[in-house]
A and B are shown apart, each in its own frame.
Chain A
């Protein structure tokens, strides 16, 4: 599938020399959202080459950037197409665009439009003014829900490897790998592992504002602890396996939840660095101790210890 739109100047309706110019990314979805928001209006859309990435992400990377905008204004001969010197850039594009440099180099003054394309009509009708509300980026439960598949997918890939490993480890006997034992002893761990994925990749993002503490690692750990507790209540496992479970699964959930920092609209690089400095050593020692417990559990089961 192709998600990229060819960069350049596009027309919506029947624009003339006085029509507004809206700048967009060449990610098909960004372009389509803008086109739909402009329906019924006569306007120009200037599409930048952002390598098929949306405005905010591309602005962060610099592809939705000052140089590209200046280049694209020149290449499309915008100064001959319109008589005014006004271009409307989505507010979230500001991360990549230095408005004063664009004006210096092209003569076009950058007007930052609203965060949400649906507010464009109101923005234009009120003389290019955005209300306080139009300037804020929101992060509703729906916004978070649509992001969770991209959290679940990478976690589930690792989970499948984990599940197969657990099956073999639990099936391992001095006499060989016993399929029946792999299932009987492995299933509780495979079940609890799945709960950890759910709690870190789905439940923590969804309940983000309602779980205590600001740290994503702590939020994920708390959710993981609750899920492990609920999970263990419904299955019967040996005492060493319980210790392992309460150590390993909440930490796994915490690690998965920490990945969500990359998708939210309010986490900062300095903040995530701080979390990692605190959490990484805990993850590593937790993984090491978990492994030791697992070995102890197996040796104990075999009657070696």
Chain B
């Protein structure tokens, strides 16, 4: 299953990549693959912007506008003018 094409905010700066392989390891959708001594984006449209790769890149070679792809959260954000929010408090476990 693939979501919309050409929408992800994922950016990869090859010059900063040291080839440690963390991004390949953490991505649940195989967006990254090793290409020789460096990582490379192999399947861009599979990116769900979870942000695991960027957070685990110690060298700042990955940037992504991470967030939850939840319609209600995004409508909430549009209405309140802030960041997308589920509207569920910290104590709630009803949604993510």
Contact = CB atoms under 8 A, between A and B. Distances in A.
A136 B1 CA distance: 13
A214 B56 contact: no
Contacts of B26: 91, 94, 112
B61 interface: no
B55 A97 contact: yes
A272 B71 contact: yes
A275 B30 contact: no
Given A100-B56, A268-B47, A91 B71 contact: no
A187 B55 CA distance: 53
Contact of B52 (A27, A95, A150): A95
Q: Which of A53, A66, A137, A259 has the most CB of B within 10 A?
A: A53
Contacts of B91: 51-52
Contact of B96 (A61, A214, A259, A269): A61
Contact of B67 (A98, A258, A269): A269
Contacts of B70: 261-263, 272
Contacts of A273: 74
B22 A272 contact: no
Given A94-B26, A139-B1, A269-B67, A53 B75 contact: no
A42 B7 CA distance: 45
A61 to B, nearest CB: 7
Max chain A Cβ within 10 angstroms of own Cβ: one of B5, B7, B72, B73:
B7
Interface residues of B, number: 44
Interface string B18-38: 000010011111100000000
B69 to A, nearest CB: 4
Nearest to A215: B4
Contact of A259 (B1, B68, B71): B71
A276 interface: yes
B1 A208 contact: yes
A99 interface: yes
B40 interface: no
Contacts of B55: 66, 94-98
Nearest to A3: B93
A142 interface: no
Interface in A115-153: 115, 130, 132, 135-137, 139, 150
Contacts of A60: 50-51, 66-68, 96
A116 B58 CA distance: 25
B2 A266 contact: yes
A132 B75 CA distance: 36
A258 B27 CA distance: 25
Nearest to B67: A269
Contact of B93 (A27, A94, A265, A272): A27
A136 B29 contact: yes
Nearest to A56: B96
A40 interface: no
B51 A95 contact: yes
B20 to A, nearest CB: 9
18 contacts: A53-B93, A58-B96, A60-B96, A91-B25, A94-B55, A95-B51, A97-B56, A99-B56, A132-B30, A136-B28, A137-B28, A265-B48, A268-B48, A269-B74, A270-B7, A270-B69, A272-B71, A275-B71
Given A136-B29, A266-B48, A271-B4, 5 more contacts: A99-B56, A100-B56, A112-B26, A135-B25, A208-B1
